Amino acid sequence: MNQLQQLKQTSTVVADTGDFLQLARFAPQDATTNPSLILKAVLQPDYAPLLESTVAAHQSASLDDIVDAVLVRFGLEILKVVPGRVSTEVDARLSFDRDATVARARRLIALYEQAGVKRERVLIKIAATWEGIQAARELEKDGIFCNLTLLFAFCQAVACADAKVRLISPFVGRIYDWHKKSLGAAWDETARSLSNDPGVQSVTRIFNYYKQHGIATQVMGASFRNVGQITALSGCDLLTISPDLLAKLEASDAPFERALGGDLGAAQPAITYDEAAFRYALNDDAMATEKLAEGIRGFAVDAGKLDAMIEKLRTN
C-alpha cells in the first residue's frame, strides 16, 4: 500500500482545499475550506463561471449574503464528491463577536438545508477565540456541528471540550513555523522532526488528554508542512491535508507505524477554564497568541479580497 492508503487505515483523511475538481483523485472522507482556500480557488479560470453565476443570481442581496452564497456553492460542489462532511468558515472578522458568529453560522446552515443538504454533513468553522468557543457552545445545542480552527494552545482545546464542540483543528505547521523562526540558527531540523516536532507534540498532548478523559470532541490535525508531520500523527481521529501533500503520500510506499491511540502517556489531570483563566492562559503562550492573531488577520485579508471580487462582478 502507498502511504495514503496506510494512513486511511488509522485516521479519517480529509482534503484541505476549495478546489473540488482535485478531490476525487484522493477519495477523502471529508473536506475543509477557509477564506484563503476559497479565494485561491475562485482565482482559477475553472471556477470563474461558478463565482460569476452565483453573484449574478444574488445581485440584489447584501454583500454578506452573496459571500455566504458563494461559500455554500463551493460546499455543495464538494459534497457531490466527498461522502462525508464539508467545513465552511464563518467570516474571520467576526471572531470576537459571539452573537454575530452564531447568526452567520445559522444562516450558512439554512442555505445548506434549503439546497437539500442535512446539517449533519456540514461543520461550521469558527476561530477558537473565547467568543468563538462560546458561539460554538450555543450552536452545538441546536444541532449545528462546529469545527474550531486556529487552535494553537492547550487551553483552547480544553475550552472546546467543555463547550462540547464536535471537532477541533489543532494546527501543526504554524506551530512548527513559529518555533523554527524563534530558534533561528539554533534550530535542528533533524532533532525536531517526527515526534519531536513541536506541532506534532501539541496535537499529541491534546489527543491523549481527550482520550484519557473520554472527551467526545474529535481531533483533526491540520496545517502540515511535510509528510513526516502527518505520519507522526497517524491514528489521530482525522487529518486534514492539502492536495500537494496528499499527492506525496500517494507517491510513496514507505511503511510507517501508527503513532497515536496506543500509549496515551502519563495521566493528565482534568482542567477547566472560566473566561479569565482562559484569557490568561492564552496570553501566557506567546506562540499561540501570535499565531491566533496572525491567522485571524490573514483570513480577514483574504475575506476582504473576496468581497472586492464580488463587488466588482456585481457592478460590472
* pLDDT value of residue 254: 97
What is the pLDDT, as a whole number, of residue 53?
95
User: 0.85 cut: is pTM over it?
Assistant: yes
Tell me, what's the pLDDT at 91?
97
CATH number at residue 223: 3.20.20.70
Residue 38 to residue 88: CA distance in whole angstroms: 10
pLDDT of 35: 83
The grid cell for 257 is 507505524
Instruction: Write down the pLDDT at residue 209.
Output: 98
Residues of the chain with pLDDT under 50: none
Close Cβ partners of 34 (under 8 Å, ≥ 6 residues apart): 89, 125, 149, 299
| Sequence-ordered list of residues with C-beta below 8 angstroms from that of 14, at least 6 positions apart, any chain | 28, 29, 30, 31, 32, 220, 238, 239, 240, 241
> According to the model, what pLDDT value does residue 141 have?
98
- Give the angle subtended at the CA of 151 by the CAs of 146 and 155, to the nearest 5°: 100
Full domain range(s) for residue 116: 3-315
Q: Of 261, 249, 233, 237, nearest to 11 (Cα)?
A: 237
Instruction: Write down the mean pLDDT value for the chain.
Output: 97
**Please, are residues 156 and 128 in contact by the beta-carbon 8 Å criterion?**
yes
What pLDDT does residue 139 have? 98
Can you give the pLDDT at residue 315? 85
Q: Give the chain's domain count.
A: 1
* Residue of 40, 80, 118, 125 with catalytic role: 125
Annotated active-site residue 125? The verdict is yes
